[in-house]
């Protein structure tokens, strides 16, 4: 039983940075989307979707990190950061597309019809602006994660929290 608890605690500790990052990022995107669309409020469904999507993407980021493809370009470090930004961007983009398709599925009979309707209704300029922001934020996340990995979590914590 103790080993099971240790595994769960390790998983939670590993998932926390990505979860917090995507939680903040997806809520910022939901708020930006509401303001851009002159909706000026974020309802519970948008907030819940942003939270669930953040948890799913954070876990998928951890899975991508463990895959061999994530280590394809490990030298120089900048290549690794850019490669992981691209990989994580693909994962996050898939969830952004799902964010548009899932609500359309309730109004239409099938996945194909809902996807076609969602793609027809999407403001592509808005979609790509959000994608640019997401990629920029993902780059910062990957850069920070790489720096923490190289410097070490204890040293980074000491640097940030000591006076």
> Closest by alpha carbon to 57, among 83, 104, 12, 21?
21
Euclidean distance between CA atoms 94 and 9, whole angstroms: 28
Euclidean distance between CA atoms 142 and 88, whole angstroms: 9
- Model confidence band, residue 60 (pLDDT cutoffs 50, 70, 90): confident
What pLDDT was estimated at residue 125? Answer: 80
For residue 53, pLDDT over 90 is answered with: no
Which region among 42-46, 95-99, 105-109, 159-163 has the lowest average model confidence (pLDDT)?
A: 42-46
Percent share of the chain, pLDDT over 70: 93
Of the two residues 114 and 44, the one the predictor is more confident about is 114
What pLDDT was estimated at residue 39? Answer: 61
Of the two residues 157 and 61, the one the predictor is more confident about is 157
Asked whether 84 and 142 are in contact (CB, 8 A), the reply is yes
What pLDDT was estimated at residue 143? Answer: 92
């Amino acid at each position: 039983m103790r080993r099971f608890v240790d595994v769960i605690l390790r998983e939670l500790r590993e998932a926390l940075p990505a979860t917090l990052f995507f939680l903040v990022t997806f809520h910022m995107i939901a708020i930006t989307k509401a303001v851009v669309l002159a909706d000026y409020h974020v309802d519970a469904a948008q907030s819940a979707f942003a939270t669930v999507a953040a948890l799913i993407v954070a876990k998928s980021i951890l899975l991508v990190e463990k895959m061999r493809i994530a280590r394809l370009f490990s030298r120089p470090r900048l290549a690794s950061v850019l490669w992981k930004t691209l990989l994580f961007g693909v994962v996050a983009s898939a969830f952004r597309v799902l964010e548009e398709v899932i609500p359309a599925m309730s109004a239409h009979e099938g996945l194909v019809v809902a996807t076609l309707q969602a793609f027809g209704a999407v403001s592509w300029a808005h979609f790509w602006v959000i994608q640019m922001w997401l990629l920029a934020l993902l780059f910062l996340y990957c850069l920070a994660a790489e720096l923490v990995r190289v410097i070490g979590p204890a040293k980074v914590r000491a640097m940030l929290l000591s006076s």
